[in-house]
Copies of this chain bind each other. A is one copy, B any other.
Amino acid sequence: MTAPAPATAPPHVLVRSRELVRPALAAAVARLHPWVGEMAGYAFGWCEVGGSPAAGPGGKGVRQALAVLGAETAGAPAGHGVPAAVAVELVHAFSLVHDDIMDGDTTRRRRPAVWQAYGTGPAVLAGDALFALAVETLAAAPGGPGAVRLLSAALADLVHGQADDLLFAARSWTGVSAREYRTMAERKTGALLGCAIALGAALGGAPETTVGALDQAGRHLGVAFQLVDDVLGIWGDPAVTGKPVHGDLRQRKKTYPVLAALGSPAAPRLARLLDEPGRAAEAAALIEEAGGRAAALAEARRHTARAEALFAGVPTAPAELRVLLDFLIRRDL
């Protein structure tokens, strides 16, 4: 008898992209001020506080894989996507470091967040350094101003999405619509996924229409990914997600399933439950009963289908794109 493969075995493209990109990413980080470089290494899960090598897994590296696949979609060798991959991974790390400060999130990937480990001021600086390094990397790449324009558009969306997200937290339960939330998610999560694949394609020499289609596809993928993440944040298995059960409800996060359920007749009851401590399990059950979970998954499927249709319109898109999409959206949910 052989043990069954784990349900979430990472697709090979994540592994080969990490191996391809890591040296360039490490070389970029090595150009930073040593202290700032250590914080960057900690953020990537490469080292612990003090600089000793880390045992942690780090992130999945979805964005670097998308950049590599973008270059391959353009018919270029994977290596042409590396500067794009480095830039988007740096931007992703920057946004996590700063978002954790803004959101007051104390842990990230089962370790103290950078601001908890090094202090708020140093974490602000580390994020700034990662951001600057991303721009520097792309400015030095052969992609020209078009590549920097793609990145800066994604950065603008990222910041806009984060602003909306912060303001949503201050509104009442019924003060945010599911539609507003979707727009926020496209900016905050979708823009950088779209940018990753579009940037890879642009550096690979793809025509502008292909770059645009891949950007759109990545954005839909990002929204779908966020919605699945929202479902996992309420009903996910803590052993798999690494987050406490009903965590998003106890943190009073206005995620898609909650907002969808608040659009149903159960809204007044649900809003009361959400405001009472210790009743997260009941709230989760009511959200499911009111159709919030089903609505989130249906919306995720819609965005996945749109991403797939856009990929299908690009005949050179490699099959691994579809594999990665399947992995991210976890069809078995």
Whether the Cβ atoms of A135 and B136 lie closer than 8 Å is: no
The segment from A18-26, A156-164, A233-241 that touches chain B is: A156-164
Whether the Cβ atoms of A148 and B159 lie closer than 8 Å is: no
Whether the Cβ atoms of B156 and A132 lie closer than 8 Å is: yes
Check if A78 is an interface residue, CB within 8 A of chain B.
no
Instruction: State the A residues within 8 Å of B (CB).
Output: 31-33, 35-36, 98, 101-104, 120-122, 124-125, 127-129, 131-133, 135-136, 138-140, 144-145, 148-149, 151-153, 155-156, 158-160, 162-164, 166-167
How far is it, in angstroms, between the C-alpha of A108 and the C-alpha of B206 when the chains are bound? 47
Chain B residues with CB under 8 A of A31 = 156
Known contacts A148-B139, A152-B136; is-contact A128 B159 (Cβ 8 Å) = yes
How far is it, in angstroms, between the C-alpha of A136 and the C-alpha of B102 when the chains are bound? 23
Whether the Cβ atoms of A101 and B129 lie closer than 8 Å is: no
Chain B residues with CB under 8 A of A153 = 136
How far is it, in angstroms, between the C-alpha of A316 and the C-alpha of B196 when the chains are bound? 43
Kindly identify which residue among B139, B152, B163 contacts A149, using a CB–CB cutoff of 8 Å.
B139
How far is it, in angstroms, between the C-alpha of A136 and the C-alpha of B125 when the chains are bound? 21
Known contacts A33-B159, A160-B33, A163-B33; is-contact A152 B125 (Cβ 8 Å) = no
Chain B residues with CB under 8 A of A149 = 136, 139-140
A95 to chain B, nearest CB (A): 8
Whether the Cβ atoms of B131 and A166 lie closer than 8 Å is: no
Chain B residues with CB under 8 A of A144 = 144-145
Beta-carbon nearest neighbor of A31 in chain B = B156
Chain B residues with CB under 8 A of A104 = 121
How far is it, in angstroms, between the C-alpha of A156 and the C-alpha of B30 when the chains are bound? 13
Chain B residues with CB under 8 A of A152 = 132, 135-136, 139
Whether the Cβ atoms of B132 and A159 lie closer than 8 Å is: yes
Whether the Cβ atoms of B121 and A36 lie closer than 8 Å is: no
How far is it, in angstroms, between the C-alpha of A133 and the C-alpha of B163 when the chains are bound? 15
How far is it, in angstroms, between the C-alpha of A233 and the C-alpha of B194 when the chains are bound? 48
Whether the Cβ atoms of B125 and A128 lie closer than 8 Å is: no
Beta-carbon nearest neighbor of A163 in chain B = B33
A122 to chain B, nearest CB (A): 7
Known contacts A36-B163, A135-B155, A163-B33; is-contact A124 B102 (Cβ 8 Å) = yes
Beta-carbon nearest neighbor of A136 in chain B = B152
Whether the Cβ atoms of B135 and A122 lie closer than 8 Å is: no
Chain B residues with CB under 8 A of A151 = 135, 139
A268 to chain B, nearest CB (A): 29
A84 to chain B, nearest CB (A): 14
A202 to chain B, nearest CB (A): 13
How far is it, in angstroms, between the C-alpha of A115 and the C-alpha of B301 when the chains are bound? 41
A119 to chain B, nearest CB (A): 9
How far is it, in angstroms, between the C-alpha of A155 and the C-alpha of B131 when the chains are bound? 9
Whether the Cβ atoms of B163 and A35 lie closer than 8 Å is: yes
Whether the Cβ atoms of B136 and A155 lie closer than 8 Å is: yes
Whether the Cβ atoms of B162 and A148 lie closer than 8 Å is: no
A191 to chain B, nearest CB (A): 11
